[in-house]
């Protein structure tokens, strides 16, 4: 009987220990959960000078993020198709709010629809270019479906907080013509919205230009523009096409700092030269900067 009582005592002790453990006494499941925040992601574009192109249609079928050395897929993303040329002069498209692990991020990537070629017949999927005569051709996106296209920029997601980030594409440098193919090689930078400002400017002598003329204002970080800069203005941070009716232009999603504004002239889409440079234009976060440009000075 004494041994029976001892056995009952051992069983009761083990049962109590199990109950304590199950109630969180010493458990770690709640304390090791990964803190999360929200990425609010939008997309914008820079101008494309080819007047024959009326749409650069992009189909994003997935978004991935790089965190702790690994690529992971954004959950609950709805595939979307949009015309990059609709997202200029400060306009943007909201892609969604996504709950991600808290931490520092340096890049995300967009997974795009892939045109397929079967013999001599090329499919015309959601990624395509439309021309003024309403014809269209596939926009090939090498590796856009497998490895995606990276957008580079540093941002941080804090636990239980939201950060708004805009992916700034550049259609003017992203669309490459190779023989009879149009190939998309996106140039994309990531901008934290609350840390960026914008420039609204006016070319005051726009009435002096002809109907075939066009002007584009390129924004360079202070002292980064030189006369040796190539005609495609590859080192510009952003650009804005001038409205040839009222002279207005917008340079949006610029980080705080000083910028040099370089105005380039085009005749029927062909570059003819730089017509004005405005040095040391200040941009502050969440602030509009007003600039007047006079190309005849």
pLDDT at 124: 52
pLDDT at 26: 40
Which residue would you say has higher pLDDT here, 65 or 124? 65
pLDDT at 145: 61
Mean pLDDT for 258-274 is: 94
Q: What would the pLDDT profile of 152-183 be if each residue is shown by its tens digit? A: 999 999 999 999 999 998 877 778 888 878 88
Contact predicate 43/80, CB 8 Å: no
Mean pLDDT for 136-145 is: 76
Per-residue pLDDT band at 16 (split at 50, 70, 90): very low
pLDDT at 143: 66
Q: What would the pLDDT profile of 217-234 be if each residue is shown by its tens digit? A: 999 999 999 888 888 888
Contact predicate 172/48, CB 8 Å: yes
Per-residue pLDDT band at 68 (split at 50, 70, 90): confident
Mean pLDDT for 272-295 is: 96
pLDDT at 181: 82
Exposed/middle/buried for residue 95 (C-beta within 10 Å: 0-12, 13-18, 19+): buried
Per-residue pLDDT band at 203 (split at 50, 70, 90): very high
pLDDT at 39: 96
Percent of the residues in the chain that have a pLDDT greater than 70, as a whole number:
84
Which residue would you say has higher pLDDT here, 59 or 174? 59
Contact predicate 190/196, CB 8 Å: no
- Domain 197-293 classified CATH 2.60.40.10? yes
Contact predicate 136/128, CB 8 Å: yes
pLDDT at 144: 61
Per-residue pLDDT band at 92 (split at 50, 70, 90): very high
Q: What's the whole-model pTM score?
A: 0.80
pLDDT at 247: 97
Q: What would the pLDDT profile of 96-129 be if each residue is shown by its tens digit? A: 999 999 999 999 999 988 766 654 445 556 888 8
pLDDT at 31 exceeding the cut of 50 = no
């Amino acid at each position: 009987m004494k041994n029976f009582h001892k056995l009952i005592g051992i069983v009761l002790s083990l049962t109590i220990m199990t109950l304590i453990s199950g109630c969180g006494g010493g458990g770690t499941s709640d304390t090791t959960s990964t803190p999360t925040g929200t990425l609010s992601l939008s997309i914008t574009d820079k101008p494309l000078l080819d007047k024959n192109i009326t749409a650069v249609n992009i189909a994003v079928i997935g978004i991935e993020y790089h965190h702790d050395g690994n690529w992971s897929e954004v959950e609950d993303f709805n595939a979307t198709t949009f015309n990059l040329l609709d997202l200029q002069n400060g306009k943007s498209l909201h892609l969604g709010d996504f709950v991600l692990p808290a931490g520092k991020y340096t890049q995300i990537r967009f997974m795009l629809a892939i045109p397929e070629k079967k013999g001599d017949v090329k499919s015309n999927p959601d990624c395509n270019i439309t021309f003024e005569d309403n014809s269209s051709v596939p926009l090939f996106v090498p590796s856009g479906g497998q490895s995606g296209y990276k957008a580079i920029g540093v941002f941080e997601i804090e636990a239980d907080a939201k950060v708004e980030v805009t992916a700034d594409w550049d259609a003017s440098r992203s669309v490459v013509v190779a023989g009879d193919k149009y190939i998309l090689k996106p140039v994309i930078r990531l901008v934290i919205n609350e840390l960026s400002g914008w420039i609204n400017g006016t070319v005051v002598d726009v009435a002096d230009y002809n109907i075939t003329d066009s002007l584009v204002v390129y924004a360079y970080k202070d002292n980064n523009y030189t006369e040796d800069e190539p005609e495609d203005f590859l080192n510009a941070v952003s650009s804005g096409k001038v409205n040839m009716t009222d002279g207005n232009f917008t340079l949006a999603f610029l980080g705080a700092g000083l910028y040099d504004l370089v105005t380039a002239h085009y005749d029927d889409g062909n570059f003819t030269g730089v017509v004005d440079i405005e040095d040391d234009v200040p941009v502050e976060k969440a602030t509009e900067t007003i600039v007047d440009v006079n190309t005849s000075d």
